[in-house]
């Protein structure tokens, strides 16, 4: 494995950086995404991208690399300070709201890079190579919201530290849904951990090596960048991260960990509604009202 950054004790590999691809057009959410980035659509009152960044931060990461495209400036602005807004709120004695705005600016160090040509997830990750450097890093996909007591990324970092090798988060999916995901195959080491020997991007049901799918969480060594540079375009004419991981599994060790937590596919409209309801029901000030609204609408449909 390539050189990795270690803490001052020299006995633990640490992950300091996360890459969040955010260059997609978000066409499934048109017309909302015609003028605003899909990543800025909120779950109640918190933009999706903030949930993803907070997962990274709560996993011990402080440098977040956003891979963006044209017309995505709103994402960068969201994680900056807004002095005019904060000053106005403080002058109106709305200190709690001013604090909310300031805390977003304090979350982490945001580094923004551009994916100038939309050539797939692998290409987006490769665009972050200079910002990541020669050290391990996390990748979190913005369409996958994972609600977990211990952040999913933190769970994967712990496996990375124990195995000293790349690890992907996986979840078990119904057999008829394997064609929607990158699927892993390999040797089960325990109830949750697998040594990965092969991966297939969106395989037909009869060609899937398992029912364990990668929903969008990875801890990778910098070796992946060298592999991505020589990975030819795959399905859809794009550079697929799954194809590069297949090579990584042969040249280095690769593990898959069945994380603990609930995943919401917020890139899908029903998945987005599911996440919104679930997160609303977790908030004491909203829970009772949401239940009453659900009762009202269910009654009107009967």
Three-state secondary-structure class, residue 56: helix
What is the tens place of the pLDDT at every residue in 285-296? 999 999 999 999
Pairing of strands 42-43, 46-47: antiparallel
pLDDT of residue 302: 67
Determine contact, residues 42/88, Cβ cutoff 8 Å: no
Spatial CA neighbour of 14 closest among 292, 219, 244: 219
How many Å separate Cα 33 from the centre of its chain? Answer: 19
Q: Tally Cβ neighbours within 10 Å of residue 205.
A: 11
What is the tens place of the pLDDT at every residue in 229-254? 988 887 677 888 988 999 999 999 99
Torsion sign (Cα): 103, 126, 256, 210 = positive
Question: What tokens does 25 get?
Answer: 């057009």
Query: Could you give the residue range(s) of every CATH 3.90.550.10 domain in the chain?
Result: 17-267
Mean pLDDT of the chain: 88
pLDDT of residue 13: 67
Angle, CA 57 vertex, CA 54 and CA 62 arms, to 5°: 135
Please, which residues have CB within 8 angstroms of residue 289's CB and are 6 or more apart in sequence? none
Q: Global pTM? A: 0.88
pLDDT of residue 76: 87
Using CA atoms, how far apart are residues 296 and 186, in angstroms rounded to an integer? 48
pLDDT at 219 over 80: yes
What is the architecture of the domain spanning 17-267? Alpha-Beta Complex (3.90)
pLDDT at 3 over 60: no
pLDDT at 11 over 60: no
* Position 5 confidence tier, pLDDT thresholds 50, 70, 90: very low
What is the tens place of the pLDDT at every residue in 38-49? 899 999 999 999
Could you tell me what percent of the chain has a pLDDT over 70?
95
pLDDT at 299 over 50: yes
């Amino acid at each position: 494995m390539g050189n990795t950054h270690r803490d001052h004790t020299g006995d633990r590999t640490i992950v300091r950086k996360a890459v969040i691809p955010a260059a997609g057009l978000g066409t499934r959410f048109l017309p909302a995404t015609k003028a605003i980035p899909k990543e800025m659509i909120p779950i109640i009152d918190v933009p999706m991208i903030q949930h993803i960044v907070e997962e990274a931060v709560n996993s011990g990461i402080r440098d977040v690399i956003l891979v963006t495209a044209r017309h995505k400036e709103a994402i960068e602005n969201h994680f900056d300070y807004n002095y005019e807004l904060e000053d106005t709120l403080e002058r109106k004695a709305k200190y709690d709201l001013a604090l909310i705005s300031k805390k977003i600016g304090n979350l982490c160090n945001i580094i923004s890079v551009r994916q100038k040509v939309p050539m797939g997830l692998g290409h987006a990750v490769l665009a972050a190579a200079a910002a990541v450097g020669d050290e391990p890093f996390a990748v979190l996909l913005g369409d996958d919201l994972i609600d977990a007591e211990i952040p999913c990324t933190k769970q994967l970092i712990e496996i990375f530290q124990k195995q000293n090798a790349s690890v992907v988060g996986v979840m078990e999916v119904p057999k008829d849904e394997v064609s929607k995901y990158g699927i892993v195959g390999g040797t089960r080491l325990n109830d949750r951990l697998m040594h990965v020997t092969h991966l297939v991007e969106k395989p037909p049901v009869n060609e899937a090596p398992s029912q364990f799918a990668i929903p969008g969480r990875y801890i990778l060594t910098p070796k992946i960048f060298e592999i991505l540079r020589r990975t030819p375009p795959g399905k859809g004419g794009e550079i697929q991260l799954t194809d590069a991981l297949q090579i990584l599994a042969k040249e280095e060790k690769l593990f898959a960990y069945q994380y603990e937590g609930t995943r919401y596919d917020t890139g899908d409209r029903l998945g987005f509604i599911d996440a919104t309801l679930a997160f609303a029901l977790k908030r004491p000030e909203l829970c009772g009202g949401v239940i009453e609204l659900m009762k009202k609408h269910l009654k009107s449909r009967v």
